[in-house]
Structures are given as C-alpha cells and as structure tokens.
Structure 1
Amino acid sequence: MKLTSPETIPDAHEDSIWTASWIPATEDSPPLLLTGSLDETVRLWDPESKNCILKNTGHSLGVVSVAAHPSGRIAASASIDSFIRVFDVVTNNTIATLEAPPSEIWQLKFNPEGKILAAAGGGSASIKLWDTAKWQPITTLSIPRPEGSKPGDKSSNKKFVLSVAWSADGRHIACGSMDGTISVFDVARAKFLHHLEGHCMPVRTLVYSSAPLDSRILFSGSDDGHVHVYDAEGKTMIAAMSGHASWVLSVDASPDGAAIVSGSSDKTVRLWDLKMRAATQIFSNHTDMVWTVAFGPPGRTDVRSCSLASVSDDKSISLYQYS
C-alpha cells in the first residue's frame, strides 16, 4: 500500500483547521470533504476541483469536531461555544441544535447505521448519545469513578474525555481520556465493560478497524507519541508503534484494513503497514501541527483505493490517494 504525493489547498481557512470528515457519495454527489476551524466556520470541499462549495458560519467559537452521517445527506459540527449544530449538507439549513455545558463536546461520531450521534463528553467523564430521528438525548455513558474516590474529587478530572469511536458492528463504543486510559462500553446495555491500559498521556484519537473480520481491533494515538493496537474485547494490547517525535493527534484506518495513518504535532503524516507494524511513508508537507487525518470512502471501481485528507494548524488541507 502507498500514498501519492499530496496536493495542497493553502489557506483553506482563516485560522487553524482542527477537524475533517468525509461526506459519503450520494446519487447526486461524489464524496466531499468537510472541515472545521478555529475561524468558527465549517466548510465543504470538492476534492476534485479543490473548491469550497459551502461555508457555514453557525458557530460563535472555534469548531473542534465535524462528523458526517452515513447517508451523505447531513453532518454535525461541535464548537467550543458548547453547541452541536446538525445541518443539511446540500442546503446548509440547520436541522437541530444540541446544547451541552461549556467544553463538554470534543469529538463527534455517528454510529455505522446513522441512528445515534455520540459525543466525547469532556469534563463530564462520559459519552453522550443522541437519537438522530428526533435529536433527543438517549443516555450518558459515564466512566466509573476510581474505587474510593468521592464526588468532586479532583482525580476525576483526569478522566476528561477527548475522543470517541464506534466499532464497525455498532455494538461497542470506546472513549479516550486525559489520563491515558481507554474505556469500552456495551451500547445496547448502556454498560461500562472495561478499561484498556498502556498509554501514559492523553488519548486524543481512537478508531476501530474498518475490516469486517476485525471489528474488535481498536487503534489509539496519544500525547506519549505512540500508536497502540488493541483487541478491545479481549482487553489486550496487540502492538505499540513508535516513530512520532511528539503528540499523536489523529489516527484513521484504511477501508481495506491493511493500514492506518496518523497525524502529529511533529508536523508529519505517517502511513503504517499493519503487518509490518512500521511506518512505510512519512510526509512533512505541513508546516505546523497535523490535527486530523481522514480516509475517504473506498472507490466505486477499486475498493482498495481511496482518498486521504490531512488538516493542520498551518490552515491548509492536503489530499492524497491511497492504493
């Protein structure tokens, strides 16, 4: 597997770009790229023409996460203003506005069926779930307090939740915390299952394998500079991969299940071969921290190929082809 040299869209936003997500193709549209920035806007891009085709100014503070619904029709964005905005991708009309306490939303993910929106709940040490039919809260999945701790105990702040990921079968959901732990939940039973250990610093990014036979495999990236591979159901760490010189801010899994990609505050993007458990390509095209890397959906004619996007504090978007 390999990535082509990137094509870059410079100054894609007026400020740091922290988040990106691919909008799946529909009958009317090819896959599109959604980005969110500290300039308070969400923008939609045509990766072929490199043109911005929609600009959303619905937030009053920086946008920290964007997520695309599997239908390709709607998307959601979360901001430091403590609101989640759900909007129609074509018309840009607001469908719903979900409110959370300040700094309580750090990452958004729709479940594979698109029926639930999950949000990493920040200082609430939880994952918040919304029903996407009525946009009403379903439940809050709370990380258990350490034994012997009391309500208000400052140690609970270490469970500040930064990242969230759904398993490919939608049965499980995981979140990464400030203290380096990963918590795994059974969604149907709204039950905490167990922690995954191994990181010693904040876990800012999580993604389950997209390969159908590997739905229990979870990848994580941390401020400790490592990328870990877990059997999330067996509670075991399969591999720890190192190479980044600083925080790992984002990981994503290729649609073919053969590789993952990572972005870091060391300004690089790395492609990792999962059989070799090593980085096979390193890109240094960004001039500042790489906040998000995101694989696009597989190609219609070649399911082993897809696009990849990376976004950065340098205000640029880089687009690669994976095959």
Structure 2
Amino acid sequence: MPPKDEETIKLRKELEDLIKKCQEDQAKVADCKLSEKCADVAAAPKLRLTTKKLLKGHINKVNSVHYAGDSRHTVTGSLDGKLIIWDTWTGNKVQVIPLRSAWVMSVAFAKSGNFVACGGMDNMCTVYDVNNRDGSGASKITRELLGYEGFLSSCRFLDDMTLITGSGDMKICIWNLESGAKNLEYEAHAGDVVSISLHPDQSSFLTGSVDKTCKLWDIRDGKCQQTFFGHTADVNSVCFHPNGFNFVTASEDKTARLYDIRSDQELATFESPAGNPGFTSCGLSLSGRFIFCGSDDGKVHIWDTLTTQHDGILAGHENRITSLCVAPNGLGVSTCSWDNNVRVWG
C-alpha cells in the first residue's frame, strides 16, 4: 500500500476515534431521554391536515419549494426547466419563469417577495427580480453567481441584498447581490452541502451534508460554532426550531432527529412505524410541537416533538417527496414531488 494511502487511513481512524470519544462524553452527561422527561405531558391534539390546493403546472419532477414571507406565495423549481410562482390561496400561477438550465435542484424566495433564486447542475445560482419583467412577462435576471466547482444544492436569502449558498464542492458562499461579489467563501464540510436553515434572528445558520453531519455557523465571521453527529447517512435537510435553540434533521438513514444547541447533542430520534422510508426534507410547526418530514414513500410523516410519538401521515403524492416548506405564519405546509405536482396542506 502506498505511504499516502496509509497516512489517509491513519488520519481517518484518528477522526473516527475522536468522534466516538465526543459521542461517549455526550452520553455521560445525557441523564435522561426527552420522551421520558415528557412522559407526563398531555398528548397533542391529532393534526387533521388535508390537501387544500393541488398545484398542477409542471410537466416533470419538482425538486424544490419555498415560501415568501407573506405565507401566501411559493416558488417551485422543476426539471421541466421552469420556475413557477404560485398563489397558494387561490391555486393560480402568478408567474412562469423559463430557465437556461433544466437541472434545478434548489429554489429560494426572498422574505420580501421581491426576488427568487435557483440553481442546480449548471454550477451557478441565478437571481430573478420578481417585479421587473422582460418582454415575455417573465422576471428578469439580476445576478448570475458563478465560480462553483460543483452543483448548486441549496440557497437562502438573508435579505434582498444577501444570499447564502451551499454546493457540491463542499463550500458555503455568502454573496452581496448588489455588487455580485462574495462576502465570504469557506470549506464547510467533507461532502456536498445539501441543506441550509437560517436562525429565526438570522444571526447564524445551519448546514446539512452528505458527510453525515450538521454544522452551526456564525453569519458575521463565517466560523463554525458547533458540529453535530449521529446520523449514519446523508443529512438531506435541516430546519431550525422556532425557539432558535433546537433544530431537526431528515436523513437517508431513515430517521429524523432533534438536536439541542445548548447541550450540544441529540435529544430524540424519530422513525416511521412501518415501511422505513428515507427522509428527504423536514419542517416544524409554528409552535415547534410537530415535526413534518417528506419521504421516499411519497408521504409526509408527522411526530409529536416532545413525546416523540408518530402522529400520522399526509398521503396524496404518488412519488418521492423532494421538498417541504412550512408557511412562516404556520397555517400551511407545501410539498413537491417527483409526481410533477405541488400540494398545499392545511
């Protein structure tokens, strides 16, 4: 075996041992399980969500959905090469935006509703001005953010002038959209960065990666504050709890998990009672009492955060759910799927 390979194996073994030691130290101070501590908590009322709107318009797999700050409009991106902005209250299309590349993997809606962004296998992030249209009626491109060495997997607006992106080159970039320049760029993970979630006060953000970890970052200096272990496969989605102290994850290892930032460890694991699907996306109710996870089996699984009990499913999609987003006001949940459709639950 070449010396370089031996050194790599040795370093990997040291890293695995270090992670194991961290987990053992965490286990020593974990004096109880969340479900045990909440055993006397009254059961939450059963959610009875139904499909309020079935949004049809895409003609290929829909890969991403995200709400604007008004909790009414969403943007979806599909392999048909289109972004569609929807009015989820009426079910109408507000705007259809043709893309230069059909391989879109992530979309984002600015809280103001003024801009949408998308990216994917074209290795770039494109920003559109919703209020400034071209001759065909589609939003004009305001920025094309280049320089990625891998696919664009995730993006989120901090505000109308600042965008955070994660990509397949394992990097995070924070962009100034006015100048088109990078404010920060840094190596974030040992694998593709696939999900970003902003802290409620926007002082920090989370990332999930195919390296099986989640990381907490400070927006001001781009430094990693904490790394969270536990998953045994790709972390497909991360979502901050409304309280800002916890977050949930969804993974290919067929579990969702709840982590606590203050205690620096996992509080609970959530699994489907049957079928054992992989989870692609996650979200939390406005109160934080319920966790929603989109899955490979085309269903949204729901758990009670405190008791960790499975609270039911939302069935309707006919193929893998790729993305899930809870409305900022908590009154709706939008999902999109490989069945070409978008559903609004309420």
- Bin of the TM-score, shorter chain as denominator length: 0.7 to 0.9
Find 1:97's aligned residue among 124, 144, 151.
Answer: 144
Find 2:198's aligned residue among 152, 162, 166.
Answer: 166
Would you say 1:223 and 2:248 are equivalent positions?
no
- Contact 1:179–1:200, Cα closer than 8 Å, also in 2: no
Distance 2:122 2:149 in 1: 7
Distance 2:279 2:147 in 1: 27
Q: Which residue of 2 aligns with 1:193?
A: 225
- Contact 1:181–1:197, Cα closer than 8 Å, also in 2: yes
Q: Which residue of 1 aligns with 2:92?
A: 51
TM-score, normalised to structure 2's length? 0.79
The CA deviation at 1:49 is: 2.4
Superimposed CA distance per residue, residues 104-155 of structure 1 (whole angstroms, 9 cap, x where no aligned partner): 31011123x5553111121x222111123433211113237xxxxxxxxxxx
Distance 1:290 1:306 in 2: 20
- Contact 2:74–2:109, Cα closer than 8 Å, also in 1: no
Would you say 1:70 and 2:95 are equivalent positions?
no
The root-mean-square deviation of aligned C-alpha atoms, in Å, is: 2.0
Superimposed CA distance per residue, residues 72-110 of structure 1 (whole angstroms, 9 cap, x where no aligned partner): 211111122122111122331222111243533101112
Distance 1:101 1:66 in 2: 17
The CA deviation at 1:315 is: 0.5
Matched position secondary structure for 1:70: coil
Count how many residue pairs are aligned between Structure 1 and Structure 2. 293
Q: Which residue of 2 aligns with 1:136?
A: 181
Distance 1:62 1:8 in 2: 26
Equivalent positions of 1:148-187 (< 5 A) are 156=190, 159-187=191-219
Distance 1:269 1:127 in 2: 29
User: 5+ residue gaps in structure 1?
Assistant: 145-155, 299-304
Distance 1:114 1:255 in 2: 24
Distance 1:239 1:232 in 2: 13
- Contact 2:241–2:247, Cα closer than 8 Å, also in 1: yes
After TM superposition, the runs of 4+ consecutive aligned structure 1 residues lying more than 6 A away are none
TM-score, normalised to structure 1's length? 0.84
Higher helix residue share = 2
Q: Which residue of 2 aligns with 1:12?
A: 57
Distance 1:165 1:34 in 2: 17
Identity %: 20
User: 5+ residue gaps in structure 2?
Assistant: 1-44, 134-138
Q: Which residue of 1 aligns with 2:331?
A: 306
Matched position secondary structure for 1:256: coil
- Contact 1:262–1:269, Cα closer than 8 Å, also in 2: yes
Distance 1:24 1:10 in 2: 19
